[in-house]
């Protein structure tokens, strides 16, 4: 496990902001830039802008709005972390949405806070995730995962559906269940990121689900060895 990172005025936390409201972005930038150990290095108002600017700026922390006109911050979190595994993502939303929280967990977000949060608490949250800690309460996370697994399946979850998957797709589904990004799955299974993405598109279609978190829940029904240990690529 990597050592906790330390930031100072000379080596500040580099923060990237994503929110579709310019006033919100300016307010967040003013709030965070007023701290000596935090520097806002860029922002975006759309998913498209975030996926271009984020990797170019190499931030330490991305503060991402969950709901956006051209997509969502959770998919941005997953994509940015796939390109920058060390990036910490703090999801910011106006809604207390358990489903979105689950999606954020599966995307590898380090924190999930409501926009009603006090300014001082948001500053603390940025410092917390930057240092490598989580702002996701473990008890809440565990409760949400248990409740979702206990729900009647919203999509096909019978063994017959899982049986349609190839051995490689089963490996990938198991790793989705562990919360790995496409890039991390590729490294584990010695596959290119593009190949992993193609496999995931096919397995989601076979399972009759559209979202990664739904596939992650179905992964709990798998009964197989640890992915990548016994099967050649």
Instruction: Quick: pLDDT tens for 54-78.
Output: 999 999 999 999 989 888 999 999 8
- What pLDDT is stored for residue 229 in this prediction? 46
- How long, in residues, is the chain? 233
Could you tell me what percent of the chain has a pLDDT over 90? 40
Q: Are 43 and 29 in contact (CB under 8 A)?
A: yes
Name the average pLDDT for the chain: 83
> Degrees (nearest 5) of the Cα angle 80, 84, 86?
120
Q: Where in the chain is the domain with CATH 3.40.50.2300?
A: 13-145
Does the pLDDT of residue 156 top 50, yes or no?
A: no
- Mapping DSSP to helix (H, G, I), strand (E, B) and coil, where does residue 88 land? strand
Determine the Cα–Cα distance for residues 179 and 156; give it in Å rounded to an integer.
Answer: 21
Structure tokens at 170: 């089963």
- What pLDDT is stored for residue 163 in this prediction? 82
- What are the C-alpha distances in Å from 7 to residues 54, 56, 66, 76, 164? 20, 21, 26, 25, 49
When the candidates are 3.40.50.1240, 3.90.105.10, 3.40.50.1000, 3.40.50.2300, the CATH number that belongs to 13-145 is 3.40.50.2300
pTM of structure: 0.67
CATH 3.40.1280.10 holds for 159-221: no
Determine the Cα–Cα distance for residues 27 and 99; give it in Å rounded to an integer.
Answer: 27
Higher pLDDT, 152 or 44: 44
Q: Where in the chain is the domain with CATH 1.10.10.10?
A: 159-221
Band of pLDDT at residue 1, cut at 50, 70 and 90: very low
Tell me the pLDDT tens digit for each residue of 183-220: 889 999 999 989 999 999 898 888 887 777 778 777 87
Q: Which residue has the tokens 């410092």?
A: 127
Structure tokens at 93: 């939303």
């Amino acid at each position: 496990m990597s050592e906790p990172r330390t930031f100072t005025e000379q080596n500040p936390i580099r923060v990237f902001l994503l929110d579709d409201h310019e006033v919100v972005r300016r307010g967040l930038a003013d709030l965070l830039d007023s701290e000596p150990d935090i520097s806002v290095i860029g922002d975006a108002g759309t998913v498209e802008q975030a996926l271009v600017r984020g990797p170019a700026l190499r931030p330490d922390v991305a503060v991402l709005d969950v709901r956006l006109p051209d997509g969502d911050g959770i998919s941005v979190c997953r994509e940015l972390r796939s390109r920058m595994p060390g990036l910490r993502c703090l999801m910011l939303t106006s809604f207390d949405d358990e489903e979105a929280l689950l999606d954020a967990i599966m995307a590898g977000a380090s924190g999930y806070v409501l926009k009603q949060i006090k300014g001082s608490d948001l500053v603390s949250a940025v410092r917390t995730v930057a240092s490598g800690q989580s702002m996701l309460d473990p008890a809440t996370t565990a409760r949400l995962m248990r409740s979702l697994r206990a729900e009647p399946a919203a999509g096909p979850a019978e063994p017959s559906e899982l049986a349609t998957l190839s051995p490689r797709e089963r490996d990938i589904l198991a790793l989705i269940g562990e919360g790995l990004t496409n890039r991390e799955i590729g490294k584990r299974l010695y596959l290119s990121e593009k190949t992993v993405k193609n496999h995931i598109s096919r397995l989601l279609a076979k399972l009759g689900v559209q979202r990664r978190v739904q596939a992650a829940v179905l992964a709990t029904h798998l009964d197989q060895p640890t992915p990548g240990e016994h099967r050649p690529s």
